[in-house]
Amino acid sequence: MAELFGAPSSGKTTLAFALLAACTRAGEIVAWVDASHAFFAPAAAAAGIDLRRLLVVRPAGAAAMRRAVDALVRGGACAMVALDCAGLNDALLAHHCARLVAQAEKTGTVLLVLSGGDVPAVASFASVRLRAEGLVPRWQAGSAGSGRLAGCAVSVTVAKSRTAAPGKRVRVETRMPDVAGTFLVETPGPLQSDEMEMDAQHDRSFVIA
């Protein structure tokens, strides 16, 4: 179990999408438990997720969400199950987490919990906790504050790790798929070096995690 936490608009969903995209590129099936019904398919496609390999589960309420996660983790068909429980602080208690962790270890499933950082049971049972801090807007050069949004910067800090010391920090640059931010076009091409300072470390964030 890994926890990705942060305030709203901190970049945690971006990081989760990147992880899911890596899994689907490897041919794995993944799942997104969308308790808040906030999943936006064009954004996921722009992040590189193969949506044909993504199961989206939309439970109604906390109990249904627990049942859904239990079924997904117990089944073992999904390489990664992302549980978006932002806003459902009491959805997972200690005994729920104990059971989920045991099942996840048995089936080899990664359970990624997205939260606001205020779920004590998840914080206790997670092997890795990553704190996403601040989605910093990158305005296009020459139009600061009034023109075009080119992308964002996300900072990720390892808050807890069972295999390494916490405190490592990675900064990831992201780029808007289109100027309107409504994901009308396909995933953009590679960034130009003079257009934005692309942080070459972003692939290493998985290694640290």
Partner 1 sequence: MIAPSSSHDRAARIACLIIPRFSVDVCLRLHPSLRDKPIAVAEGAQRREIACASADAVGVHAGMTPKQARAACPNLAVIARDFAAERAAGEELLDALETCSPDVEGAAPGLYFFDANGLPAGEAAALGAAVALADTLGYAGAVAAAADGKFAARCAALVAGVGISVVPPGGNAAFLAALPVSLLPLAPGDGERFDLLGLRTLGSIAALPTAPLAARFGERARAYARLARGDDRELLRPRRVQEPYEERIAFDGVVDRLEALFFALRGCIAAVTTRLAGAAQVCDRVDIVLELDAARSSAPSAMPAPGTPAPDGRTACAGDAPSLASRSLGRSTSSSLSPSVAPLLVRRPVARHAAAPDAASAVPKAGASAARTVVIAVALAEPTASAATMFDLARIALEARIGQGAVTSVMARVLPCADPPPQLTLFDGSSGSRRAALAATLARLQAALYRDAVVTMSPTPTRSRLPERMQRAEPVISPREFDKAGSDVRLKPAVSEKPAAWAPALRLVDPPKRIEPPATGAACAGPFRLSECWWERPVERDYYQLASISDGLLLVFHDLREGQWYVQGIFD
Contact partners, residue 20, CB within 8 Å, separation at least 6 = 30, 32, 44, 47, 49, 54, 80, 82
Shortest Cβ distance from residue 167 to partner 1 (Å)? 23
DSSP bridge pairs for 153: 136, 173
Q: How far is the CB of 53 from partner 1 (least distance, A)?
A: 5
Residue 56 has, within 13 A of its CA and on its CB side, a CA count of 15
Instruction: Compute the least distance from the CB of residue 127 to partner 1, in Å.
Output: 23
From residue 43, give the alpha-carbon distance in Å to each of 63, 73, 83, 153: 28, 25, 17, 17
Distance from the Cα of residue 152 to its chain's centroid = 15
**Is residue 75 at the binding interface for partner 1, with CB under 8 A as the rule?**
yes
One residue of 106, 169, 182, 204 binding partner 1 per CB under 8 A: 182
Token pair recorded at residue 202 = 């972003």
CB 152 within 8 A of CB 11: yes
Nearer to partner 1 (CB atom), residue 54 or residue 158: 54
Is 38 among the residues that bind partner 1 (CB under 8 A)?
yes
Which residue in the set 30, 44, 92, 97 belongs to the binding site for partner 1 (CB under 8 A)? Answer: 44
Side chain identity at residue 73, one-letter code? V
Stretch that binds partner 1, among 88-96, 123-131, 146-154, 158-166 (CB under 8 A): 146-154
Q: CB 162 → partner 1: shortest distance, Å?
A: 26
DSSP class of residue 177? S
Least spacing, CB of residue 165 vs partner 1, in Å: 26
Under rule CB under 8 A, which residues in 81-140 are in contact with partner 1? 135, 137, 139
